[in-house]
Chains A and B, each alone.
Chain A
Amino acid sequence: MAGDEVSAVNGGPPIRLRVPARAENVFVVRQALTGLGQALALDRAQIDDIKIAVTEACTNVVLHAYRDTSGPLEIEAWPSDGQLLVVVRDAGRGITPRAEPPTPGLGLGMPLMAALTEEMRIAHGPDGGTEVHMTFVLVPADEDHAG
């Protein structure tokens, strides 16, 4: 199917998942993406790439969006015209030039997301948080290798 049979209708994104921004819920997001990838008959490697990129964005929300508070982690998926747009949104502190205090990560998340996506854009969210927009060009699974 590779996205062309699913339309983003006026009622909003075909898939929207909202969970509390906690580490254990990133697993729920990954499960939803696996189901989405299977429904779109995507190549298994591409499903993995999508999950890695979105996981990085979700991890950023869990680690950085809410300091000493809790808040939502929201995912939207819009497959259409051979592409998949995934939006990862929080309602937290918004974008800061540099994380304060410095975080123990290697700083590879953003480059990894950029490498795995056709296009990546970071924006202010409607509730003052951050939105990460990631676009993937869909690759249908080769039946010989789909397993």
Chain B
Amino acid sequence: MTGPDADADVRVELGPLAAPVLSRVMSALAARADLPLDRVSEAGLLGDAVAAHALPRVDDGFVRLVVSARRGELVVRVGPLLDGGAEGLLRDSDLPELGSVIRRLSDDVGTEEVDGREHLVPVGDRHRRTGRGDGREAGGHGLHRARWARRHRGAGPPLPR
């Protein structure tokens, strides 16, 4: 997914405009991707979280989101970030008892290197979670529960047996 092939490519100055714009664009694209209503709302929160925490992780005061919104899946490439910025962005969005908000709002989180620059790639997928009671309160997201547990061992609520 490159810029010209994306469903949206948005670049915003990290200041007071960023959160309102990113959250609305992300929600609109999540709806376009045919995600369920709660996930549409969460996509907006993801935009908020990126806007709130990205500034120390970029080198020019701007963040760029390249988004693919297709067939029940929302793939977001956030960057370019400074070295270690992807992990830092996840860490900076930590909340007590909750862990990384960005990770919590995503079904998958990866990193990619594009043109030698690091990008964080959160993914929303309507098929990976079955409902709010499935792992969310327990501090994990379905397939990524184990990873969440490794990363936040001791910091979050206990995992379900």
Where chain A touches its partner, the secondary structure class is mixed
Q: Do A12 and B11 form a contact, CB below 8 Å, given A1-B16, A6-B16, A36-B17?
A: yes
Against A, the Cβ 8 Å flags (1 = close, 0 = not) of B26-61 are 011100100000000000000000000000000011
Against B, the Cβ 8 Å flags (1 = close, 0 = not) of A1-36 are 100011001011011111110001101100110111
Number of B residues, CB within 8 Å of A: 27
Q: Which of A11, A20, A28 contacts B25 (CB 8 A)?
A: A28
A17 near B24: Cβ-Cβ < 8 Å: no
CA gap between A72 and B29 in the complex, in Å: 16
B24 near A35: Cβ-Cβ < 8 Å: yes
B4 near A72: Cβ-Cβ < 8 Å: yes
Q: Which residue of A lies closest to B9 (CB)?
A: A18
A39 contacts chain B at the CB level, 8 A cutoff:
yes
Q: Within 8 Å CB of A6, what residues of B? A: 13, 15-17
B149 contacts chain A at the CB level, 8 A cutoff:
no
Q: In chain B between 1 and 19, which residues have their CB closer than 8 angstroms to a CB of chain A?
A: 3-4, 6-13, 15-17, 19
CA gap between A12 and B17 in the complex, in Å: 14
Listed in ascending order, the chain A residues whose CB lies under 8 Å from chain B are 1, 5-6, 9, 11-12, 14-20, 24-25, 27-28, 31-32, 34-36, 38-40, 72, 79
